[in-house]
């Protein structure tokens, strides 16, 4: 092309010079950025996971999770009241079970007056406006720390479900709003749904930890609930998912949807946002993601070193969950985030 013909061509362009389209235009002012924002994080997106313990001091710090404490039931009630005032819709309870109450059969899991169920009862009485979610899984209660019953080093599927059903019914009896099976046994959602309905608990919701991966990011959690030391024998790879698998996560979710799950969860969070997206696209169910203990710990550790700006990356990470399609996020940062949102 000659210099001459090139010039002529340029003149015929009706809309000014290169580049005609400038995406930076809408980024120039704060008001304009707000106007074109596609996603926002609100307090309604937050679920707060809380560790509850038996006696002793009201609060006990979890060293690998700076800012997170294990709470006694009275301290939990105060914290729940604060969370409710901030507008946090729900909290998820994780009991720290004393060693002497753990057993091969996990019988403590379905005792009506176990720590978890006493906490649920107390919460529903003192702070009825906040939703209460309980994990359904045996790991706090087995002496080996696995989520299911074990025989000859094999985690038994159907036998475990029988105990999970008893655990869920005890939680329902205590007043739980959402049962959240996190055990990854096959077929448990349908069996638990049927058992709840048969017992008159058709109003209890099920949030399935449907796509839960065998992850190194759960490390600090196992510290917090003291299941790490018990989990001497092996890892959870025979029931939790392989990190490299995505199609399989969609199948896991399809089954749980068919079995009656009201809500789906993907776990861990940030490294698995593609899964969140795929699950939300595929099923259009309320879809949640768990920003797990290790993700929390990474941010806090870097922030404590001055390597990351805590407030900024906490808010950024949660907004990214929203962009990926999550309807809500379980996060240990729920209180700090709700406080920041209230100020903004």
Ligand X SMILES: NCc1[nH]cc(CCC(=O)O)c1CC(=O)O
The binder of 239, among Mg ion, ligand X, none, by C-beta within 5 to 8 A per type, is: none
Q: Given 212, 236, 280, 322, which residue is catalytic?
A: 212
For the segment 46-75, give every residue that binds ligand X (CB under 6 A). none
| DSSP string computed for 241-267 | BPTT-SHHHHHHHHHHHHTT-SEEEEE
Q: Given 267, 280, 300, 322, which residue is catalytic?
A: 267
Neighbours of 151 (CB within 10 A): 10
Neighbours of 172 (CB within 10 A): 22
Give the residue closest to ligand X by C-beta: 221
Spatial distance between the Cα atoms of 123 and 103, rounded to a whole number of angstroms? 27
Span from 52-60, 66-74, 215-223, 280-288 in contact with ligand X (CB under 6 A) = 215-223
Spatial distance between the Cα atoms of 115 and 103, rounded to a whole number of angstroms? 15
Would residue 267 show up in a list of annotated catalytic residues for this protein? yes
Judged by CB under 6 A, the residue of 135, 177, 252, 256 near ligand X is: 135
259 lies in the site for ligand X, by CB under 6 A: no
Residue 149 — φ and ψ, nearest 5°?
A: -70, 150
Would residue 212 show up in a list of annotated catalytic residues for this protein? yes
Spatial distance between the Cα atoms of 238 and 221, rounded to a whole number of angstroms? 20
Give, as one character, the DSSP assignment of residue 75.
H
> What does the per-residue mask of binding to Mg ion show for 246-275, with x meaning CB under 5 A?
------x-----------------------
For the segment 151-190, give every residue that binds ligand X (CB under 6 A). 182
3-state secondary structure (DSSP) of residue 327:
coil
Judged by CB under 6 A, the residue of 64, 171, 293, 333 near ligand X is: 293
CA-based nearest residue to 104, from 149, 140, 137: 149
Taking the least distance from each CB to ligand X, the nearer of 8 and 99 is 99
Judged by CB under 6 A, the residue of 147, 177, 256, 259 near ligand X is: 147
Judged by CB under 6 A, the residue of 110, 218, 239, 321 near ligand X is: 218
| DSSP string computed for 185-220 | -TTHHHHHHHHHHHTT-TT-EEEEEEEEB--GGGHH
Active site amino acids: 212, 267
Residue ranges binding Mg ion (CB under 5 A): 252
Residue ranges binding ligand X (CB under 6 A): 135, 137, 139, 147, 182, 218, 221-222, 236, 292-293
């Amino acid at each position: 092309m000659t210099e001459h013909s090139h010039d002529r061509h340029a003149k015929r362009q009706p809309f000014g010079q290169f580049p005609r389209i400038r995406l930076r235009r809408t980024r120039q002012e704060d008001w304009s950025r707000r106007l074109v924002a596609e996603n926002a994080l609100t307090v309604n997106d937050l679920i707060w996971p809380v560790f509850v313990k038996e006696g002793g001091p009201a609060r006990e710090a979890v060293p690998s999770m700076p800012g997170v404490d294990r709470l006694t039931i009275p301290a939990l009630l105060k914290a729940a009241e604060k969370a409710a005032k901030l507008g946090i819709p729900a909290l998820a309870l994780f009991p720290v079970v004393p060693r002497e109450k753990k057993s091969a059969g996990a019988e403590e899991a379905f005792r009506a007056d176990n720590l978890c169920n006493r906490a649920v009862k107390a919460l529903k009485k003192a702070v009825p406006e906040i939703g209460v979610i309980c994990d359904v899984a045996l790991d706090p209660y087995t002496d080996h720390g696995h989520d299911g019953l074990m025989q000859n080093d094999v985690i038994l599927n159907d036998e475990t479900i029988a105990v999970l059903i008893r655990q869920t019914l005890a939680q329902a009896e205590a007043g739980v709003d959402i049962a959240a099976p996190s055990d990854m046994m096959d077929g448990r959602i349908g069996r638990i749904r049927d058992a709840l309905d048969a017992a008159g608990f058709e109003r209890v919701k099920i949030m399935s930890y449907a796509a839960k991966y065998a992850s190194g990011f759960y490390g600090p959690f196992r510290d917090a609930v003291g299941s790490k030391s018990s989990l001497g024998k092996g890892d959870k790879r025979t029931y939790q998912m392989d990190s490299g698998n995505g199609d399989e996560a969609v199948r896991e979710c399809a089954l749980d949807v068919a079995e009656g799950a009201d809500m789906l969860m993907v776990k861990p969070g940030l490294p698995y946002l593609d899964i969140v997206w795929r699950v939300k696209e595929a099923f259009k169910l309320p879809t949640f993601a768990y920003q797990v203990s290790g993700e929390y710990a990474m941010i806090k550790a870097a922030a404590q070193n001055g390597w990351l700006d805590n407030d900024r990356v906490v808010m950024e990470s949660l907004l990214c969950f929203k962009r990926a399609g999550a309807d809500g996020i379980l996060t240990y940062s729920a209180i700090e985030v709700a406080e920041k949102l209230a100020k903004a």
